[in-house]
Amino acid sequence: MKEQLMALKEQALEKLTQQSSLHQLNEWKATYLGKKGELTAALRGMKDLSAEERPIVGALVNEVRESLESAFDGQEAELKRAEREKRLREETIDVTLPGRSIPLGSEHPLTRLIREVEEIFLGLGFQVAEGPEVETDYNNFEALNVPRNHPARDMQDTFYITEDMLLRTHTSPVQGRVLRANVEAAKQRGETSPQPVRIIAPGRVYRRDDDDATHSHAFMQIEGLVVDRHIRMSDLKGILTTFAQQMFGHDVAIRMRPSYFPFTEPSTEVDATCYSCGGDGCRVCKQTGWIEILGAGMVHPNVLEMAGYDPEEFTGFAFGMGVERIAMRRYGIEDIRHFYTNDVRLMSQFKSRV
Ligand code: 2NL
C-alpha cells in the first residue's frame, strides 16, 4: 500500500510538469485529487487494512495529498504568470505609430456665404425667415405688385406647376408670408397695428433658363425686408453700407443707381467699391471702380397695403442679391455650374476653419 502511494505520488508529480495549460492542469487535478481520482480510490482501499496500519496509511495519504496540492498550486501560479506575460506581449500597442486621419467633409461655398450674410444681418437685429419653394401665383407675383401682363410672369421665365402654382422665382413670398402672419397675430391680440419687421430670407429660387457659365435654372437668393414707422431711403443706405463693409472690407463704399422693380418705388441698383482694384478701375470692374452687388428699393405702398400694413403708417425698404454671383467673384469660380456639379476636388477647397 505504501509503495503504491509513493508510486502514485511519483507518477502524479511527473505528469504535473507536462501540463502546459490551465485546462490541462485542471484535468490533472481531477485525475489525481478529484472525487473520482486516484487518491480517493486509494483512500477507499483503507477499509481492508488492519487497525494498526490504518492511521499510518491515513497519514501517508494526507501527506501525499498535501504535497500534490501544493505542487498543483505552484504549477498553477506558474502557468497563470506565463499566460499573462504572453497576453501582455501580444497586446502591446505602439503608441508612437502615426494616427490614421479621418477624411472630413466641408461646407458648400454657397452655404458658407449664406451663413456669413446671415451672421452680419443677425448682428444688425434682423431675423432669418424661410418658406416653401412651391408657391402660389398670388404670393409670388400678385401680392408683390407684379401685374398680370408683366414679362416675369411669362411661361418663358417661370416654372408653372398648375395655373396658379409655381416654383418661386424669388424669396419675396417668404417676406409676404411674414407680413401677413404679423397682421393676423395683431388681429388675434386685438391690437390696432402689426409689429415692425426686420428679416432676411435666404433660399433656392427657380427661373426657366438655359444653363450656361453664368445662368442656372435654380440658384440661391437672399432678400431682406425692413418695415417700420419712419423708414427712409437713408436707412436703406446705412444698412447696406454696413453690410458691404462687413462683407467686403471696411473701406468699401456703396453707390446707388436708379432702377426699376415692380415691388419697390423708388428702386435702385447698389454697387460696392471694386474688390479687385479698390476703386481705381481695372478689368474686373470694366474701369468703373464699382461692382454691382444687389438690387433694392423702398417697398411699394401697394405691397404693404396688400399684406395688411397701412402705407400711411408704415414704410419700408427691401433688397435682394444673387448668392452665386457674389460667391463666384469671391472664390474666383468662373462657371456657375460648378456649384451644382459638386466635384469634391473643387468643393474640398472650401474647408471651414472651425
Ligand atoms: C435683385 C433685386 C429685390 C426686393 C428684391 C422685395 C420684397 C418684398 C417687398 C419688396 Cl416682400 N421688395 N424684394 C426688392 C428689391 C429688389 O431684388 O436683383 N435680386 C436678385
Give the domain ranges of the chain: 2-90, 109-347
Count CA atoms closer than 13 A to 32's CA, side-chain side: 26
Tell the residue nearest (CA) to atom 4 of ligand 1. Answer: 319
Q: Tell me the pLDDT tens digit for each residue of 121-134.
A: 999 999 999 999 99
Q: Is the CB of 175 under 6 A from ligand 1?
A: yes
Q: Tell me the pLDDT tens digit for each residue of 237-271.
A: 999 999 999 999 999 999 999 999 999 999 999 99
Average pLDDT of the chain to the nearest whole number: 92
Distance from C-alpha of 164 to C-alpha of 15, rounded to nearest angstrom: 96
pLDDT in the model for residue 250: 95
Q: Is the CB of 318 under 6 A from ligand 1?
A: yes
pLDDT in the model for residue 294: 97
pLDDT in the model for residue 352: 62
pLDDT at 43 exceeding the cut of 80: no
| CATH of the domain spanning 109-347 | 3.30.930.10
What value does the mean pLDDT take over residues 81-91? 91
pLDDT in the model for residue 345: 86
Distance from C-alpha of 263 to C-alpha of 275, rounded to nearest angstrom: 30
- Angle between helix axes 109-123 and 233-248 (nearest 10 degrees) is 130
Residue 142 labelled as part of a binding site: no
Find the 223 Cα to ligand 1 centroid distance in Å.
6
Higher-confidence residue: 162 or 54?
Answer: 162
Top mutation candidate among 141, 177, 319 for ligand 1, by most atoms within 8 Å of CB: 319
| DSSP annotation of 81 | H
Count CA atoms closer than 13 A to 319's CA, side-chain side: 29
pLDDT in the model for residue 205: 97
Atom of ligand 1 nearest to the CA of 299: 10
Distance from C-alpha of 102 to C-alpha of 124, rounded to nearest angstrom: 38
pLDDT in the model for residue 328: 93
* Percent of the chain residues past pLDDT 90, beyond the cut: 64
Tell the residue nearest (CA) to atom 20 of ligand 1. Answer: 321
What is the per-residue burial (b if ≥16 Cβ within 10 Å, else e) of 199-219? bbbbbebbbeeeeeeeebeeb
Atom of ligand 1 nearest to the CA of 176: 11
Atom of ligand 1 nearest to the CA of 267: 15
Top mutation candidate among 140, 216, 264, 269 for ligand 1, by most atoms within 8 Å of CB: 264
